[in-house]
Structures are given as C-alpha cells and as structure tokens.
C-alpha cells in the first residue's frame, strides 16, 4: 500500500480530510484545487454526529476547530424592526445539539484547519490553480492516466482518483462520463454567501434570521474582522412545477455582476436591513452563490475513480453535509487501508458502509427548506411561533424533556458505529 498514488480533486473540506487519512495508509497523495488559493469565504457550517467522531480521531483537529469557532451565543428569528421572537442557544452537549452546533465554524476556516493538518505531511502535495481535463481508464482493475487543464502538472498515472469538488463536480462528470447536472436533484432553492464591510449587528454575538414573503431569507452573523457575514436564500416550494432555478443558474453563468444584480432585484425591498445588505453585497469581495441540491448516484465509484462528499452525496439543507463529507473521507481511506493491495475491494466496502449513512443523512425533514423561507406572511408567522415553542421547551427541558430531546436528538450523537481503523502512519 505504501506505493499507492492518489489524486484528490478539491481542497475544501472533503479533499484535505481524504488526503490526511489516505496518507496514514502510506499512500502518496496529490491534491489539486482549481482556484489559485484556499477559498476563504462561505457560510457558517457545523460538525455533528459521525463528523464529531472523525474530528476527534484527527490529531489536533478538535482543538483547532474550537480555536476558530464562531463567537456566537445564539440564533434569533427577528421581526421587521429587528426585535427577536426568541433566541436559541447551544445545548452544551455535542451528542444532543440544537440548531446552533457545539462546533459552529465558517467553511473557509474549517478548510484552513484541515489544510494545515495535512499540508506538512511529506506524503501530501497541494497544487493550486489546476483541474482535471480528462481521465483515461485502462480497465477497471488498472491505474488511470489524468490529463490536466492548466499545464501545471503533466499527464500523470494514478492508482486512484478521488473527486471532492462539490455538488456540481466537473470531475464527477469526467470520471463517470456523464453531464454535470446528471444525478442532481434540485431543491428549487439557491443561496448566496458573502461578507459586507458594515457591522449591521453592532458586534452582537446573536446571529439573526429574517424572512420576507416570496421565500426570501436573510441570515447574518458578526464577522471576526469587523463586518457582517451574510447568507441569502431564495426558496420556492419543492412541488413548484418547472425548472424554477434556471434564471438563477443563467445569471451565475454570466458572471458575478450578473448574479449580484439578479439577487439585488429580489431582495432590495425585503425589509429589515435589506437595503444596507444589498449595498454591501455589490461591493463584497468574497461573494459566492450556488443552487441548493442533493446528489444521488447509482454507484460511488467506477474502476479507479471514486467520489467523496458533496460530489457524491450532497445533502442539501439537512444540516449534515460537512459531517457526511468528513465521514466519507475517513471511511474511504480506512477501507482502502484495510483491503491492502485490493483497491476494488476497498471501494466496494466503502460504498457498502456509506450507503446507509448517506440515506439517513440525506433525509430532508418535512417542510425543509420552505419552513425557513415561507412564501406568505401567514407562513412566516406560523414558522416563528413554532420556533418560539421549541426554544421555550428547550429552556423548560425538565418539564418537556420528551419534546426538547426529540428536537435535539435529530442533530445528536454518532449512531453509525464508524470503525476505528488501524493506520500504518
């Protein structure tokens, strides 16, 4: 196993995690990222269930995550004038978390943590500004030759190629010989993530969520650098006929100015501080927007090509995407190491172990994502009252333990019995 040559595509969360664990099998790993640097932006994400298990098995990761966590004391749903309906805090128990995780961190910060944990390993090499152009399969049991698009790397033979480059993975399309949108289920929604220079929260440690009619949702939290982190969502009912996200995707293809203008027109009259947020968005330097989707594919691998994280099983708005990516990376490396000299057996075992985990973590609760962004004022009012009820039952846990524990357990501990693999390194 010590001479296994692996290419990992993508340097966000799944990629560096995969590299970290594969290096522990003795493999030599090249990680490529099409951007010229680690992307610093992205929304706040959390680590739950089996993701906590994997994090605690990566030496130094939990301490690094805690050192980079959001300084957030709670999440509030607010009225048009900014007054909160209720504020939900963390439970203090990683095995029974609320909407606010015990491990809340910005995606860019988590990517940096995972990169730092793997970059100094002499078996891991990062190459930025490069992407896959073609993958030539000799046969299902032999290595593959990869051609690169930007000429930084020459055509190279690898024993295994791992796609970790997101839900609209270009590498998945090349490796499986399919379209980029094949195996994608649209959730009729999209999101935009960015930072504005203005501190509209006055350094509050409470993250705010605000809804306007038409499925418009604004989430804000304090940026450690002094501004405000913003997430905007445009949500349509999942039973809406037709390709309702097509105008959004067409704007994305036209470039950042076009998609910013598209979102600006939708949110400018949304109320609360939407005008300030829209003005800040137009000047934002870390803007990113994407459709909310799930990825469901018949098989996680083809020959010596395999997918991990969102490229293979994006969760959409279930809250488990990061944890599933961490888990998949760990299990793939663990099974490759366990089945020394038989990559096909390792890939088969990876898929067999991951399938039930994927199925469970991809289950979308009733009303999601629509409940976060109702279409009408009546729907917004009802959603807010449900949120108030949940917050109060969690505060009165001794009296309503059955309800608060039911809610918290949906984000709770690891019930998947993730193996504690043995590693060479």
Percent share of the chain, pLDDT over 70 = 91
Model pLDDT, residue 96: 46
Average pLDDT over residues 17-36: 96
Chain centroid to CA 222: how far? 20
Residue 159 has pLDDT above 60, yes or no: yes
In-domain check, residue 10:
yes
Task: Please state the pTM of the whole predicted model.
Answer: 0.88
What's the pLDDT at 141?
A: 77
- Within a domain: residue 323? yes
Q: Report pLDDT for 123.
A: 96
List all residues 6 or more positions away from 192 whose beta carbon is below 8 Å from its beta carbon: 230, 231, 232, 259, 263, 281, 287, 288, 289
Out of 50-54, 182-186, 411-415, least confident range: 411-415
Residue 414 lies inside a defined structural domain of this protein: no
**Cβ-based neighbours of 309, under 8 Å, separated by 6 or more:** 10, 12, 13, 14, 15, 164, 166, 321, 324, 325, 328, 329
Instruction: Give me the percent of the chain exceeding a pLDDT of 90.
Output: 62
The reply to whether 221 falls in a domain is no
CATH of the domain at 41: 3.50.50.60
pLDDT surpassing 70 at residue 273: yes
Least confident of 51-60, 91-100, 332-341, 399-408: 399-408
pLDDT value of residue 87: 83
Domain-embedded: residue 87: no
> Given a cut of 90, is residue 371 above it in pLDDT?
no
Check pLDDT > 60 for residue 254: yes
**Count of structural domains within the chain:** 1
Residue 224 lies in a domain: no
- Residue 221: which of 195, 247, 241, 239 has the closest Cα? 195
Question: What is the phi/psi pair of residue 21, to 5°?
Answer: -75, -35
Q: How confident is the model at residue 41 (pLDDT cuts 50, 70, 90)?
A: low
Q: Residue 100 — pLDDT band, cuts 50, 70, 90?
A: low
> Is the alpha carbon torsion for 108, 113, 119, 120 positive or negative?
positive
- Please choose, from the candidates 2, 54, 51, the residue with its C-alpha nearest in 3D space to the C-alpha of residue 29: 2
| Greater model confidence, 207 or 249 | 249
Asked whether residue 243 is domain-assigned, the answer is no
Q: How far apart are CA 8 and CA 5, in angstroms?
A: 10
Q: Domain range holding 52?
A: 5-68+107-182+294-361
The Cα–Cα gap between 343 and 142 comes to 10
Assigned domain for 92 exists: no
């Amino acid at each position: 196993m010590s001479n296994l040559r692996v290419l990992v595509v993508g340097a966000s969360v799944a990629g560096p995690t995969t590299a970290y664990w594969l290096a522990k099998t003795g493999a030599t790993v090249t990680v490529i990222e099409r951007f010229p640097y680690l992307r610093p932006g992205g929304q706040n994400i959390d680590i739950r269930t089996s993701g906590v298990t994997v994090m605690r098995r990566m030496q130094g990761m939990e301490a690094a995550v805690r050192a980079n966590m959001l300084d957030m004391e709670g999440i509030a749903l607010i009225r048009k004038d900014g007054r909160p309906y209720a504020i939900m805090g963390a439970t203090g128990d990683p095995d029974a978390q609320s909407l606010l995780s015990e491990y809340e961190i910005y995606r860019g910060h988590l990517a940096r943590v995972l990169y730092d944990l793997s970059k100094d390993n002499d078996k891991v090499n990062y190459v930025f500004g490069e992407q896959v152009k073609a993958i030539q399969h000799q046969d299902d049991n032999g290595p593959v030759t990869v051609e690169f698009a930007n000429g930084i790397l020459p055509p190279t033979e690898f024993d295994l190629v791992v796609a970790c480059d997101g839900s609209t993975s270009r590498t998945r399309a090349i490796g499986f010989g399919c379209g980029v949108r094949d195996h994608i289920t649209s959730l009729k929604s999209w999101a935009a993530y960015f930072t504005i220079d203005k501190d509209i929260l006055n350094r509050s440690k409470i993250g705010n969520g605000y809804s306007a009619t038409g499925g418009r949702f604004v989430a804000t939290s304090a940026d450690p650098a002094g501004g405000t982190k913003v997430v905007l969502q445009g949500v349509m009912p999942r039973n809406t006929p037709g390709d309702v996200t097509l105008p959004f995707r067409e704007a994305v293809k036209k470039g950042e100015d076009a998609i910013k203008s598209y979102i600006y027109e939708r949110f400018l009259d949304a109320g609360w501080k939407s005008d300030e947020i829209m003005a800040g968005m137009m000047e934002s330097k870390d803007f990113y927007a994407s459709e909310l989707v799930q990825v469901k594919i018949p098989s996680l691998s083809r020959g010596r090509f395999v997918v991990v994280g969102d490229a293979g099983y994006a969760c959409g708005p279930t809250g488990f995407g990061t944890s599933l990516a961490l888990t998949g990376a760990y299990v793939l490396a663990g099974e490759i190491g366990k089945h020394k000299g038989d990559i096909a057996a390792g890939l088969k075992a990876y898929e067999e172990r991951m399938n039930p985990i994927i199925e469970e973590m991809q289950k979308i609760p009733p009303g999601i994502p629509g409940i976060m962004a109702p279409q009408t004022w009546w729907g917004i009012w009802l959603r807010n009252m449900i949120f108030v009820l949940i917050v109060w039952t969690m505060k009165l846990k001794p009296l309503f333990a059955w309800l608060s524990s039911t809610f918290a357990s949906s984000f709770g501990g690891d019930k998947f019995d993730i193996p504690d693999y043995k590693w060479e390194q």
